A and B are shown apart, each in its own frame.
Chain A
Amino acid sequence: MSALFTVFRKEFLENLRDRRALLSALLFGPLFGPLLFGFMVSRMLNQSVAESDEPLRVTVSGSDHAPGLTRYLQAQGAQLKMATLTEGEGRAAVRNGSAQIVLIIPPEYGARFTAGTPAPVLLVADSTDSQARKSADRARILLGGYASGIAQLRLQIRGVNPLLAVPVAVNEVDVATPTGRAVVVLGFMTYFVLFAVLMGGLYLAIDTTAGERERGSLEALLSLPVARSSLVGGKILATCAYMCISLALSLWAFVCVFYFIPLERLGMSANLGVRTGLIFFAICLPFVPLGAALMTFVASFTRSYREAQTYLTTVLLVPTLPIAFASIYSLKTRNSLMFIPSLSQHLLMTSVLKDEPVAALDVCVSAAASLGLALLLMVLTARHWRRETMLG
């Protein structure tokens, strides 16, 4: 046991003195994610807040043919720009971007309207432009509202109950809670947290295995009267320590970032304060030994620093796979999923973010599954270290 702590202390100290490794482990890993995330989310929020506040702008050609419609649109708050365009000119204007939405009212509109036959209007928009599509939807809703209003009036005048034309009344209920909506935005934040965990131990995992071999210190170390499991244990423990520091830094950065993001302006609440940060830390803690054991295990098989780097960069992506899988199939928290590390942490953190109750059993299963796999990998690593091929 004391040999294990000797190894731990030495690896911890040595990594602490490696400024480059430290910078990458404790700065790039944990802070890059939250900063990028904060920037992206606040941009997105500002944009959508600005969009819904803005009045709908429509270029209208031939408004003289439909004074009623024009008045209705203006009364609904649409900003109309009057122009005289042929259909071709209207298409060109949308295509070259000088107008987002063009509404063309042909001369026959008035005659058709009076005759009670469908009066044509032409709505030109580019549906590949997501912002134009939203505006076009708004315009379509306004036009539909005007049409159904007129239809009801016509029926009433002819002595027919206008409700006959409304056979089904559709009532929509949107159950999205403000925090629930925020989760959609925050969905991949959990990956950044797990990424930070792995980044925190990446260099140490390489340095204590492939680095030891490349440096030529491995053979002397292996000739000591120390159990290989103590060597491996101490090395993994040191990697765990750096991963914990990185995890704490990452969560702290997220808490700070969310303090400044104006989620409330969209009617969302992020529910990520210091308390949630601490809960996240507890949820992710069992993932730490798993990450450390996995990286040390993989790096133990490599011959050189460079080879280890290549393989471990792939390992960095491993926790994304279950999370990506979960979002493709939109999996909900279920007991059976708690056996899958990284996915279980992702689901638990998402539940906490949504303010949903989290079952104690789920937390225990998630922790036990991660720790069990970590233990298995540690045993396998120690077994590999006992082999003579370890010398290379």
Chain B
Amino acid sequence: MIEAANLSKRFGAVEAVKDVSLVARDGEITGILGANGAGKSTCLRMLYGVLTPDNGTARVDGMDIRGETSKARARLGVLPHATGLYGNLTARENIHYFGSLHGISEERLISRTAELARVLDLDGFMDRRAKGFSQGQRIKTALARALVHDPGNIVLDEPTNGLDVMAIRSLRELLRALRAEGRCVLFSSHVMQEVAALCDRVVIIGHGRVLADATLESLRERSGKNSLEEAFLQVLGGTEGVS
């Protein structure tokens, strides 16, 4: 479970995130929807602890990401916006590197990598250098890297960016599989259909504030609209840039 309470962050004169609170539960997929520049990435970066909030706290399974950093991070798998791999290492070496840094033993790493290769369909390029990978192969490898320590919570920052239809489909299936295993999945997107297709719960962010935090059904009921798209648009109001 990932909890954020009253997170705020300011960069110079710009107030990027204002008083954001949200909860992503285990066994659910939570989506953060917002336009580019709405504060999604800043919010997620505070949740996985590479940015320090000016105000508020972020907890992973009840552990403060600032206070118990190592313990909280060990329970968190992160797929940042930039999914850079080490080009001179193979996919397997990229995954093993992060696994070793998590302190996983060699034998466990070998079996875990084999498992991830099966689930994510990595076998075709497991021992090729990452330099020449397609965008889909990159995301899959980065995802395997984020999941190597078998975390209970997964945070993904715009994971579908640059993926083709087939890759998006397999990513959706994977996120659903992670949910079925009882994990907490939190991801951000600026694509409405993406959120509508995947999420149990959606948090809509505009100009650094939470505009709505609800299940898809309740959102639909509250707005009195049949289609989710119209419900979203109503919440977003004047916010532009969501497609």
Contact = CB atoms under 8 A, between A and B. Distances in A.
Interface string B39-56: 000000100111110000
A392 to B, nearest CB: 10
Interface stretch (A219-227, A282-290, A321-329): A219-227
B81 A219 contact: yes
Contacts of B76: 223
Interface stretch (B83-91, B113-121, B199-207, B210-218): B83-91
A142 B79 CA distance: 86
Contacts of A3: 100-101, 103
Contacts of B69: 225
B103 to A, nearest CB: 7
A264 interface: no
Most buried by A among B52, B71, B82, B87: B82
Interface string A341-366: 00000000000000000000000000
A215 B74 CA distance: 24
Nearest to B65: A223
Nearest to A390: B50
A7 B78 CA distance: 19
A225 B50 contact: no
A275 interface: no
Contacts of B72: 225
B82 A216 contact: yes
Nearest to B155: A223
Contact of A6 (B73, B88, B97, B142): B97
Given A224-B102, A225-B102, A388-B50, A10 B80 contact: no
A330 interface: no
A307 interface: no
B145 interface: yes
A13 B71 CA distance: 29
B139 interface: no
A18 B87 CA distance: 10
Contacts of B81: 219
Nearest to B75: A225
A220 B86 contact: no
B86 A215 contact: yes
A217 B50 contact: no
Contact of A217 (B48, B70, B79, B86): B86
A23 to B, nearest CB: 14
B48 A223 contact: yes
A226 B97 CA distance: 12
B146 interface: yes
Q: Which of A18, A220, A226 has the most CB of B within 10 A?
A: A220
B98 interface: yes
A17 interface: yes
A216 B97 contact: no
A219 B52 contact: no
Interface residues of B, number: 36
Contacts of A226: 101
B103 A10 contact: no
A7 B89 CA distance: 13
B101 A219 contact: no
Given A2-B103, A3-B103, A391-B50, A224 B98 contact: yes
Contacts of B48: 223
Contact of A218 (B52, B84, B97, B103): B84
Contact of B73 (A212, A218, A224): A224
B84 A217 contact: yes
A222 B50 contact: yes
Given A17-B88, A18-B88, A388-B50, A220 B103 contact: no
A14 interface: yes
A216 B101 contact: no
Nearest to A388: B51
Nearest to A230: B101
Contact of A220 (B52, B84, B89): B84
Nearest to A7: B101
Contacts of A388: 50-52
A215 B130 CA distance: 12
Given A225-B74, A225-B102, A220 B83 contact: yes
Interface string B88-129: 110001000110111100000000000000000000000001
A3 B99 CA distance: 10
Contacts of A13: 89, 93
Interface string A195-233: 000000000000000001001111111111110000000
A133 to B, nearest CB: 57
A35 B166 CA distance: 57
B84 A225 contact: no
Nearest first, the 5 closest Cβ-Cβ pairs linking A and B are: A216-B84, A216-B82, A217-B84, A225-B73, A219-B80
25 contacts: A3-B100, A3-B103, A6-B100, A14-B86, A14-B88, A212-B84, A215-B85, A215-B86, A215-B87, A216-B83, A216-B84, A217-B82, A217-B86, A218-B82, A220-B98, A220-B145, A220-B146, A221-B101, A223-B48, A224-B73, A224-B98, A225-B71, A226-B101, A388-B50, A391-B50
Given A6-B101, A220-B142, 5 more contacts: A10-B89, A10-B93, A223-B78, A226-B101, A391-B51
Interface of B: 45, 48-52, 69-74, 76, 78-89, 93, 97-98, 100-103, 129, 142, 145-146
Interface of A: 2-3, 6-7, 10, 13-14, 17-18, 212, 215-226, 388, 391
